[in-house]
Amino acid sequence: MLNVTPKQRFQTISILSKFRQEWQEAANGKCLFEVEGNIGMVLADLVNSFGLGTHEQSLVLGPQLFEEMQEILYLPSKN
């Protein structure tokens, strides 16, 4: 287990709870165990939820997934 302060633990729980709420809203009431998703996008959502910096995101996601995430998230809109 991580050695974190009570404040850090509370912040982590808050971030993960908000993350879960966003997924529940996106699922429109469907059980989250029944929701199929892209694990790469789930991981990208998590690193963004925690507000990790670019270097930290790269460490968590690994170089290939990080690069793919950058390409997907920063595509110019086709309006």
Domains contained in the chain, number: 2
Distance of CA 56 to CAs 37, 50, 61, 62, 66, Å? 23, 10, 9, 10, 10
Do 28 and 42 belong together in one domain?
no
What is the model's pTM? 0.76
pLDDT for residue 4: 86
Do 58 and 44 belong together in one domain?
yes
Do 41 and 10 belong together in one domain?
no
Domain holding 5, by residue range, is 1-36
pLDDT for residue 73: 77
Do 6 and 29 belong together in one domain?
yes
Give pLDDT < 50 ranges for the chain: none
Do 29 and 44 belong together in one domain?
no
Do 31 and 7 belong together in one domain?
yes
pLDDT for residue 21: 94
